Chain A
Amino acid sequence: MEKASHLSVIIDLSPTQWHLSAQTSNQYPLSIETFLSQLLAFLNAHIASKHENSLVIFGALPGKSVLLYSSTELLSDDVPSLDANSYLPFKLVDSAVVQRIMNEFDAIGELEEEPPCALVGAVTKALCYINRITHPSSTTAGVAEDPSIVHDPRILILSVSPDLSSSYIPIMNAIFSAQKLALTIDVCKVYGPDTVFLQQAAHLTNGSYIYLERRDALLQYLIMSFLSPTSIRKILAVPKQDKIDFRAACFCHKNIVDIGFVCSVCLSSTHYLLLSCDLAVFCQPLPVCSTCRLATLVP
């Protein structure tokens, strides 16, 4: 008998990226409406596969992250009107998610410059949430959360934005926390270039990183790869990922580098500037280590 599983979904809601994704010049254009309808079908499948399955959805919006839906808390009091053809748990998720995303998009309005999406905030919130349900404290004893029912927690990140190199360290910290909580991070790259950091996140937590090649088949990818709990995946041979890039972001220019100078004192990576083979001149990006200000760079 399979135990109930918990799924935290993080949706990358960058308006710019979704606009680009919907362009008809793409081979397989995917608009956010189509995306949401397929995603909701997947989420309904998760809820339906076991009554005790729990679900939390976070949205990463420009500059902030929000909780869109939680199966343990009802966020809004207005229960949607139920028609005869809908199943209440599905209806609750669908209307809450769509409603809140629309509200958030309306609130964004016209900005001159879109701040980058707060993916880190969403991931850390998901971790705190999982920490809360897997380690119920004595202060909340009595709340109907039995630790034994939370099993096999997973985080699924649906990413459309490229890597944000300033989030390198927080993402790494999040990965290590995920390892400590023994949870799996799955990544579905819906649009845009591969992200190095999320590849590492999936690899280090034994999750799958899947780059969506046929974007019109989103739902099929989701159900085939991400619906099954980790305990069943060994049997199912779920696709993992190809090459993994272990590159890091340098501290000085936030470039993603494959060879870097690392300060022996603080181990912060400094960018390897190979502008010419004359290393003595060009390989001197900083007179002192930018982080600890103790080391000197003497090539």
Chain B
Amino acid sequence: MAPRNRDDNFMDVDSDSDISLLGDVERRGKGKGKGKAADKRKKDKGKAKAKEQAYTWEASYTRSWDTVQEDEAGSLQGAVEDLMARGRRRRLLAPAAAIRRTIIRHLVLLLDLSAAMMDRDMRPTRFDLMLQYAREFVVEWFDQNPLGQIGVVGMRAGIGERIGEMSGNPQDVLKCLSDRTRLEPTGEPSLQNAIEMARSSMSHLPTHSSREILIIFGSLTTCDPGNIHDTLDACVKNKIRISVVALAAEMKISRDLCDKTGGQFGVAMNEGHFKDILFELVPPPAQRAVARAGGPGANPAADLMMMGFPTRLPDSSPPSLCACHSDMKTEGFLCPRCMAKVCDVPTDCDICGLMIVSSPHLARSYHHLFPVKPYETVTSMEGESETTPACHACARIFSTSASTAAASEGISLWGRYRCPDCHNDFCTECDVFVHDVIHCCPGCGK
């Protein structure tokens, strides 16, 4: 749990990576590189970025203060509000109906550890940047997918290498990503070998969980022992979703891997964009309509699992043996069905086989199911008989006059946003905080 990290993430509306968000879609569309491998990267990036900068190392730093415009009064308020409004708009575009998502996720992180990762086109090197982002990704991923598990496989010297076993504990995964010297890149990558290894480690999983492979790929070649299309077919058959984040350029085979398995494909333009497309893969993917073919009830993937919610013993309780390791311990969790003591949750009870989860683990996933309705923008104060003087949540006093900033869609000149259910007014910050973090309207209380 990295609290700082999380809230940086929702508060960083003013970082430069966010500014580029609106351009991304269009750029990625153009990013389908054509031509030979050698100059592919050049072309791809040349097309993607605006004409004046061909390579990310040629570009100067994007200075966030350059992209912010002061208004006539010399104030930055308008610019800041504009950024907030973009965030709001993005949220409003999201569909209101609850989408069916997979919450028990299993992901194998496939890291390219070939010599191509030592390229310095991303600072400091692709390899270091990949490790840093992968660690941030893991923290964020577990935060949003608490019942999920991640395994790590590396590709180097022509083989797939198991770096970390499937684990539900973020600390385990972070530990295997932290040892830089153990992961030193070398040789050629082999997509086929690595995917086969990832596939075999997920073959035993139950049907109700999702299986995903996320490949971070920096090379433009792959040396495979057999036909990689056979591997691809096997993945389709096993319902494994493959997503690729390419650091160099698009390869036909990586695009095919994603398209055929329903994953996402992206070519990273620069450091910020790399992070953006990687973090797009954090929220649980909405399941596609395919599963609905048989109608409700006929869906084999939807069944009910029995789960037990344990009681945690305090550190001061008398020591006893745990069922999982036979160690003498004071603290532990009691299985609600057989009262056996286990060391850690979530787990399967060693005695009765009941799946034991702590209920907060489950609850962390709920906000995907019950999102807060978007607040309405208060555009006019006319006809308001009595108005509250302060934000209903944080008691910040509203300004009594309209802001002078140019009116734009999704922004209230009075800084007021109203809940459609309880009709209370909230300030801009609380609006963002309620929808991004709390997931519960302070006025309605649900």
Whether A180 and B360, one on each chain, are in contact in the complex, defined by CB atoms closer than 8 angstroms, is no
Whether B429 and A135, one on each chain, are in contact in the complex, defined by CB atoms closer than 8 angstroms, is yes
Whether A244 and B311, one on each chain, are in contact in the complex, defined by CB atoms closer than 8 angstroms, is yes
Instruction: Count chain B CB atoms within 10 A of each CB in A124, A269, A289 and give the residue with the most.
Output: A124
Whether A259 and B308, one on each chain, are in contact in the complex, defined by CB atoms closer than 8 angstroms, is yes
Whether B364 and A172, one on each chain, are in contact in the complex, defined by CB atoms closer than 8 angstroms, is yes
* Distance in angstroms between the alpha carbons of A65 and B445 in the assembled complex: 9
What's the least CB distance linking B94 to chain A, in Å? 18
How many A residues touch B, CB cutoff 8 Å? 71
- Is B7 engaged at the interface, CB distance under 8 Å to the other chain? yes
Take A248-B359, A263-B302 as given contacts and tell me if A257 and B446 are in contact as well, using a CB distance cutoff of 8 Å: no
Kindly identify, within residues 258 to 291 of chain A, every residue whose CB is under 8 Å from any CB belonging to chain B: 258-270, 272, 288-289, 291
Whether A267 and B360, one on each chain, are in contact in the complex, defined by CB atoms closer than 8 angstroms, is no
Question: Contact check: which of B313, B316, B445 meets A124 at CB < 8 Å?
Answer: B445
Stretch of B23-31, B56-64, B96-104, B152-160 contacting A (4+ beta carbons < 8 Å):
B96-104
- Is B169 engaged at the interface, CB distance under 8 Å to the other chain? no
Report B-chain residues with C-beta under 8 Å of the C-beta of A200: 359-360
- Is A139 engaged at the interface, CB distance under 8 Å to the other chain? yes
Kindly identify, within residues 48 to 105 of chain B, every residue whose CB is under 8 Å from any CB belonging to chain A: 76-77, 80-81, 98, 100, 102-104
* Distance in angstroms between the alpha carbons of A270 and B365 in the assembled complex: 15
Stretch of A29-37, A86-94, A163-171 contacting B (4+ beta carbons < 8 Å):
A163-171
Instruction: Count chain A CB atoms within 10 A of each CB in B296, B317, B393 and give the residue with the most.
Output: B393
* Distance in angstroms between the alpha carbons of A245 and B314 in the assembled complex: 11
Question: Contact check: which of B354, B359, B446 meets A247 at CB < 8 Å?
Answer: B359
- Is A240 engaged at the interface, CB distance under 8 Å to the other chain? yes
Take A248-B359, A294-B302 as given contacts and tell me if A121 and B442 are in contact as well, using a CB distance cutoff of 8 Å: yes
* Distance in angstroms between the alpha carbons of A263 and B299 in the assembled complex: 13
Instruction: Tell me the nearest residue of chain B to A245, going by C-beta.
Output: B311
Question: Contact check: which of B311, B394, B441 meets A132 at CB < 8 Å?
Answer: B394
Stretch of B229-237, B249-257, B366-374 contacting A (4+ beta carbons < 8 Å):
B366-374
- Is B176 engaged at the interface, CB distance under 8 Å to the other chain? no
Instruction: Tell me the nearest residue of chain A to B393, going by C-beta.
Output: A128
Question: Contact check: which of A241, A242, A295 meets B302 at CB < 8 Å?
Answer: A295
* Distance in angstroms between the alpha carbons of A203 and B445 in the assembled complex: 22
Whether A246 and B311, one on each chain, are in contact in the complex, defined by CB atoms closer than 8 angstroms, is yes
- Is B440 engaged at the interface, CB distance under 8 Å to the other chain? yes
* Distance in angstroms between the alpha carbons of A135 and B367 in the assembled complex: 23
Whether A272 and B443, one on each chain, are in contact in the complex, defined by CB atoms closer than 8 angstroms, is no
Whether A169 and B303, one on each chain, are in contact in the complex, defined by CB atoms closer than 8 angstroms, is no
- Is A177 engaged at the interface, CB distance under 8 Å to the other chain? yes
* Distance in angstroms between the alpha carbons of A246 and B359 in the assembled complex: 6
Give the secondary structure class of A's interface. Answer: mixed
- Is A73 engaged at the interface, CB distance under 8 Å to the other chain? yes
- Is B434 engaged at the interface, CB distance under 8 Å to the other chain? yes
Kindly identify, within residues 98 to 142 of chain B, every residue whose CB is under 8 Å from any CB belonging to chain A: 98, 100, 102-104
Kindly identify, within residues 98 to 143 of chain A, every residue whose CB is under 8 Å from any CB belonging to chain B: 118, 120-121, 124-125, 127-129, 131-132, 135, 137-140
- Is B279 engaged at the interface, CB distance under 8 Å to the other chain? no
Whether B396 and A140, one on each chain, are in contact in the complex, defined by CB atoms closer than 8 angstroms, is yes
What's the least CB distance linking A224 to chain B, in Å? 18
- Is A67 engaged at the interface, CB distance under 8 Å to the other chain? yes
Whether B304 and A270, one on each chain, are in contact in the complex, defined by CB atoms closer than 8 angstroms, is yes
Whether B393 and A261, one on each chain, are in contact in the complex, defined by CB atoms closer than 8 angstroms, is no
* Distance in angstroms between the alpha carbons of A176 and B433 in the assembled complex: 13
- Is A70 engaged at the interface, CB distance under 8 Å to the other chain? yes
Take A128-B393, A259-B308, A264-B104 as given contacts and tell me if A296 and B445 are in contact as well, using a CB distance cutoff of 8 Å: no
Instruction: Count chain B CB atoms within 10 A of each CB in A120, A135, A265 and give the residue with the most.
Output: A265
Instruction: Count chain A CB atoms within 10 A of each CB in B6, B309, B333 and give the residue with the most.
Output: B309
Instruction: Tell me the nearest residue of chain A to B314, going by C-beta.
Output: A242
What's the least CB distance linking A43 to chain B, in Å? 18
Instruction: Tell me the nearest residue of chain B to A130, going by C-beta.
Output: B394
Take A121-B442, A124-B445, A248-B359 as given contacts and tell me if A137 and B312 are in contact as well, using a CB distance cutoff of 8 Å: no
Whether B100 and A292, one on each chain, are in contact in the complex, defined by CB atoms closer than 8 angstroms, is yes
- Is A173 engaged at the interface, CB distance under 8 Å to the other chain? yes
Take A137-B429, A138-B76, A203-B312 as given contacts and tell me if A248 and B304 are in contact as well, using a CB distance cutoff of 8 Å: no
Question: Contact check: which of A128, A138, A175, A263 meets B442 at CB < 8 Å?
Answer: A128
Report B-chain residues with C-beta under 8 Å of the C-beta of A268: 366, 369
- Is A144 engaged at the interface, CB distance under 8 Å to the other chain? no
Whether B440 and A170, one on each chain, are in contact in the complex, defined by CB atoms closer than 8 angstroms, is yes
Report A-chain residues with C-beta under 8 Å of the C-beta of B444: 121
Report B-chain residues with C-beta under 8 Å of the C-beta of A257: 309
Whether B395 and A70, one on each chain, are in contact in the complex, defined by CB atoms closer than 8 angstroms, is yes
Whether A131 and B394, one on each chain, are in contact in the complex, defined by CB atoms closer than 8 angstroms, is yes
Whether A289 and B304, one on each chain, are in contact in the complex, defined by CB atoms closer than 8 angstroms, is yes
Whether A259 and B307, one on each chain, are in contact in the complex, defined by CB atoms closer than 8 angstroms, is yes
Whether B296 and A244, one on each chain, are in contact in the complex, defined by CB atoms closer than 8 angstroms, is no
Instruction: Tell me the nearest residue of chain B to A246, going by C-beta.
Output: B358
Q: Tell me the A residues contacting B by CB distance below 8 Å.
A: 65, 67, 70, 73, 118, 120-121, 124-125, 127-129, 131-132, 135, 137-140, 166-170, 172-177, 179-182, 200, 203-204, 240-248, 257-270, 272, 288-289, 291-298
Lowest 3 A-B CB distances belong to which pairs?
A172-B363, A248-B359, A264-B208
Q: Tell me the B residues contacting A by CB distance below 8 Å.
A: 1, 3-4, 6-7, 11, 76-77, 80-81, 98, 100, 102-104, 147, 208, 296-297, 299, 301-314, 316-317, 333, 336-337, 345, 354, 358-360, 362-367, 369-370, 390-397, 415, 428-430, 433-434, 437-446
